[in-house]
Amino acid sequence: MNPIRRTIGPRCLLIALSAVIVACTSIYPQYRMQSAATDPRMVVIPWRTAAEIDGDIESAQMTKQLALDRKARADGRAREIEMNIGTREDASKDVDRRKNEAKKSGRASELLALESEARANKQAVDLLKRLKDLRKAETEEAQVEADRTDLDIRVLQMEKELLGKRTEYDSLLISGVGDLTLSSTQQVLRDLEVRLLQLQKERASASEKLASKQKDIVNRRMKLHNAQLKFGMPRA
C-alpha cells in the first residue's frame, strides 16, 4: 500500500468530520428560529414598528380630546336652547293671556293675530325641543367616541407591549438560551396575543355602537331640517 495514501486518508477523514460537526452546529439555531417563527407565535397579529404604534397612539389621544371638546360644545348649546325654550314658553303664556283679554273684549282682529302668534310660538318651541334632543344626542355620541378612543389607546399600548416581548424573544432565540426559558417566553407571548385579540373585539363592538349613534344623529338632523323648511323657521 502506498504510504502517502495511508497518511492522507485519516487526515482527510478528520477534516471532513470536523466540517460536518460545524455544519450541524450552525444549522441547529436556524432550525430553532424557523420553528419558533411559525409555531409558538400567532402570525395573524401583524408586526408593526414602535414608531407606527406611537404615531397611532398620539393620533388617538388627539381624537379623544377633539371628541371631549365637541361634547363640551354640544352641552353648552343644549343649555342655551333650554333657556330659549323657557323664553318662548313664557311668551306663549303671555299670548294666551292677551288672547283671553281680546276674546272677552270682542277684539276679533287682534284675536286672529294673537292666535297666529301662538301657533308660531308653538312651532318654535317644538323645533327648539327637537334641537335640544339633537344636541343631547351629539353629546352622547361624543362621549361614546371618547370611550372608544380609550379602547383604541389600550389596544395600541398592548400591541406595543407585544412588540417588546416579540423582540425579547428573538434576542433570546439568537443568544441560544435553554428551551425552558424560550417556552416561558412563548407562553407570555400567547397570553399577550389572546388579551390583545379580546381588546380588539371590544373595540370593534364600541365602533359599532359609535356608528349607531352617528346614524341616529344624521336621521335627527334630516328630520329637523325638513321641519324647519316646512315651517319656514331659521336654522340653528
Q: What is the pLDDT of residues 107-162, one digit of tens each?
A: 888 888 888 888 888 989 999 999 999 999 999 999 999 999 999 999 999 999 99
Going by pLDDT thresholds of 50, 70 and 90, the confidence category of residue 4 is very low
Kindly tell me if the per-residue pLDDT of 215 is higher than 60.
Answer: yes
pTM comes to 0.74
Per-residue confidence (pLDDT) for residue 43, from 0 to 100: 67
Multiple choice CATH, 50-231, 1.20.1270.60, 3.40.50.1220, 1.20.1260.10, 3.50.50.60: 1.20.1270.60
Query: Mean pLDDT over residues 217-234, rounded?
Result: 86
Percent above pLDDT 70 for the chain: 80
Percent above pLDDT 90 for the chain: 52
Per-residue confidence (pLDDT) for residue 235, from 0 to 100: 54
Which of 120, 122, 130 shows the shortest CA–CA distance to 236? 130
Concatenated DSSP letters for 87-126? HHHHHHHHHHHHHHHHHHHT-HHHHHHHHHHHHHHHHHHH
Kindly tell me if the per-residue pLDDT of 40 is higher than 80.
Answer: no
Q: Are 224 and 130 in contact (CB under 8 A)?
A: yes
Give the domain ranges of the chain: 50-231
Query: Mean pLDDT over residues 199-213, rounded?
Result: 97
Kindly tell me if the per-residue pLDDT of 66 is higher than 90.
Answer: yes
Residue-wise pLDDT for 178-195, tens only, equals 888 888 888 999 899 999
Residue-wise pLDDT for 74-106, tens only, equals 999 999 999 999 999 999 999 989 989 888 888
Q: Which of 15-24, 179-188, 203-212 has the lowest mean pLDDT?
A: 15-24
Q: Is 155 buried (19+), middle (13-18) or exposed (0-12) by CB count in 10 A?
A: buried
